[in-house]
Structure 1
Amino acid sequence: MDSARLCRCVFGLMVVGLVGLPQVVLGGRRCNFPAIYNFGDSNSDTGGISAAFAALHPPNGETFFGHPSGRYCDGRLIIDFIAEELKLPLLSAYLDSVGTNFRHGANFATGGSSILPGGYSPFHLGIQMSQFIQFKSRISALYTQLSPSAGTTPPFKSFLPRPKDFSNALYTIDIGQNDLSYGFQHTTIEQVRLSIPNILSQFFQAVHQLYKEGARVFWVHNTGPIGCLPYTVIYGRSKPGNLDQNGCVKPQNEVAQEFNRQLKERVFQLRADLPGAAFTYVDVYSAKYALISSAKNEGFVDPFEFCCGSFYGYHIDCGKKAIINGTVYGNPCHNPSMHISWDGIHYSESANLWIANRILNGSFSDPPVSIGETCFLYQ
């Protein structure tokens, strides 16, 4: 019997609908997911964009991996802490052709990706869906066509998933930030706000595609406080009244909050449309904003100081240096663990860990279940 059915048959689940929010009695039980399939942007990219285009430079990866790992971070991302919490290996990027192991899932997220086509990256959510569908189809064909000889096991079985694992896996989605960011750069705040329904219609269709492919347990992150990214603050603080009480760019955060409000409505609609699936909506925005609001009390430096690269006067990407008029730009900081922001756009490992510790237990989730209990919602 598969793990999801074992969870619901043996341990049971009591769900009472209250204004669209189920109350869940779980009794401390945990699920065993055989795999994770992730879709997203650089917030959860474990090497996709690096493999597709150009490898990241040191000091990316220095804190945990000791070398660049394809992550826009000094170490691990939230998706890495999700895998660790579920006792699974860290996810290999689907686009990485060297040293990959997809036995326990695959990561289709790539840096710069958006839900809609266009923007910063060609690997929008529709492409990621197509990659997943092709991946699943080829796995199924391989298992069908290549049967093991007597007494032997095909070598591919050690690094590819089993067909039955797709319906028992956890599907994580963290995307949408770049749709807003690209819009802020190329249109107006109001135009970005008006584009939200169209963006989320594409998201809605993608989830329906995954459901048709057998996905049943979904963990959906909303978008973070874009207006609190140091990059955004540097370019947005000059306008009077543009910052909130914590120094974040207020108009951009308001659009992010509206995006999240409509995303949550879409997730509720998905629950109604796909009653055979389980959807957990995770309020990453609130977790990140809480960290930024209490940075110094949590042992971090000013949340708008970042560790690697430069946007002050000259734009120097993390991992590069430049000397301009005798000033060196791009030297990394000495203690990344004290910084919330790694490179002005992406979070540091220590910040990712702080956030993961607060979202994985269900404190910021609807319904309020931990990630290790989400299969109980699968009826």
Structure 2
Amino acid sequence: MDHSKTTFCFLITLSQVSIASDRILPSTFCNFPAIYNFGASNSDTGGLAAAFIQFKPPNGNTFFGMPAGRMCDGRLIVDFTAESLKLPFLSSYLNSLAINFKHGANFATAGSTITFPTMNILPEGRTSPFYLGLQCLQFAQFKIRSQIIRKQGGVHASLMPLEEDFANALYTFDIGQNDLLNGLLLNMTVPQVIATIPDMVYQFSKTIRDLYNLGARSFWVYNTRPIGCFPSILTIYPAAERDSAGCAKQYNELAQRFNAELKKALAQLGVELRSATVVYVDIYSGLYSLYTDPIKNGFESPLVACCGHGGKHNYNVGVECGQTISVNGMDIRAGSCKDPSVRISWDGVHFTEAANKFAFDLVSTGSFNNPPIPLKLACHRR
């Protein structure tokens, strides 16, 4: 065999494939004209602040220089999603002041659940009335009314999406954490919360089907986070068995159970909704890697909240980030740590901008997803 000739042919073929890839791959990237997000506090860009309460500094200080409707020192994963697709940050659907919805809308509100809330509801409680099914109804109304405004013309017409953009938009979901945590905070046992997971996943699947029937085609669905690593959970359940990363083992297993059921349901939807792309995004694994090896990834004190007050994990359930309390006659503010960029937890429940960026960079490549589709190719039908 003429090895030199074989090698030469192989190199020529490889060169041709490389040239072809350079020509083909850029043109296959999705050109999402808009993002429509559904979720809770991990992706809320101003819904709760518009409807109920304004957040206090130091929320927002890292990137926005002021509170920006986010429970974070800076940007959320949904913000990094928009940036990566060269789109502006999403405005909350509930915000009525100087809003541009041309490139999408955010229906998420902090405290939202998948299932219908029946107790502890805002403004007296902590659960948002804007559960996932209601967010879907808001989207349906938005789709109709935005096109009426476009047809009417005038100054507001240019602030609304084109009708064809709805079919070509990216639909993102980040919800489920509150359903699990609310059950625990209502003194349900872990097995009792597990028993509610099938209904959560059923309602989640129903919403995706409803949006599909409204014209949505590209679905990017985050699973829930490693709640057993939250400073809040570690503070509330100090006797819980810990894993090798110091996280509460049974509560992470609860999150994993929800994630497994969600993954199975989304795979079924991927088969059922033939003209849709349904991607299960494993944000759990991306974030958990920070707890298993924080130093390698540039983080420290992984189980300690950056913004809070008191205790081993710098978390107090009665003192939220930015609040002031009186201790022995002195006013003490729950302020930020010195350097949020090396912390994972922002306020004991939510993540810092740095952790959000780390996780987004991992999952956006597709390597943590099922099917393994990167964000910029998530528009392609099978």
Q: Would the TM-score normalized by the shorter structure come out above 0.5?
A: yes
Q: Which residue of the partner structure matches residue 359 of structure 2?
A: 355
1:324 to 324, 327, 330: 327
Aligned length: 344
Any conservation in 2 of the 1:340–1:351 contact (CA below 8 Å)?
yes
After TM superposition, the structure 1 = structure 2 runs for residues 1-379 of structure 1, keeping only pairs within 5 Å, are 27=25, 29-118=28-117, 120-144=127-151, 146=152, 148=153, 154-186=154-186, 187-239=188-240, 242-310=241-309, 312=311, 314=316, 315-325=318-328, 328=332, 330-376=334-380, 378-379=381-382
After TM superposition, give the deviation of residue 295 of structure 1 in Å. 1.1
Q: Greater CA deviation, 292-301 or 221-230?
A: 292-301
Question: Letter of the aligned partner of 1:137 in structure 2?
Answer: I
After TM superposition, give the deviation of residue 99 of structure 1 in Å. 2.4
Which 5+ residue runs of structure 2 have no aligned equivalent? 1-23, 120-126
Q: Secondary structure at the match of 1:297?
A: coil
Q: Secondary structure at the match of 2:43?
A: coil
C-alpha distance in 1, partners of 2:302/2:168?
39
C-alpha distance in 2, partners of 1:204/1:299?
37
Question: TM-score if structure 1 supplies the norm length?
Answer: 0.88
After TM superposition, give the deviation of residue 310 of structure 1 in Å. 2.6
C-alpha distance in 2, partners of 1:257/1:342?
22
Question: Letter of the aligned partner of 2:305 in structure 1?
Answer: F
After TM superposition, give the deviation of residue 326 of structure 1 in Å. 6.0
After TM superposition, give the deviation of residue 102 of structure 1 in Å. 0.5
Question: TM-score if structure 2 supplies the norm length?
Answer: 0.87
Which 5+ residue runs of structure 1 have no aligned equivalent? 1-25, 149-153
Any conservation in 2 of the 1:231–1:311 contact (CA below 8 Å)?
no
Question: Letter of the aligned partner of 1:334 in structure 2?
Answer: K
C-alpha distance in 2, partners of 1:323/1:61?
24
C-alpha distance in 1, partners of 2:372/2:335?
42
- 1:264-322 deviation per Cα after TM superposition (whole angstroms, max 9, x unaligned): 11001101211110111100110010111111222211111111123638531111122
C-alpha distance in 2, partners of 1:27/1:96?
38
Higher relative contact order (CA 8 A, sep 6+): 1
Q: Secondary structure at the match of 1:195?
A: helix
Q: Secondary structure at the match of 1:43?
A: helix
Q: 1:55 to 1:250 in 2, by over 3 A?
A: same
Question: Letter of the aligned partner of 1:122 in structure 2?
Answer: P
Any conservation in 2 of the 1:59–1:74 contact (CA below 8 Å)?
yes
C-alpha distance in 2, partners of 1:365/1:272?
16
Which of structures 1 and 2 has the bigger CA Rg? 2
Question: Letter of the aligned partner of 1:256 in structure 2?
Answer: A
Q: Greater CA deviation, 195-204 or 367-376?
A: 367-376
After TM superposition, give the deviation of residue 236 of structure 1 in Å. 1.6
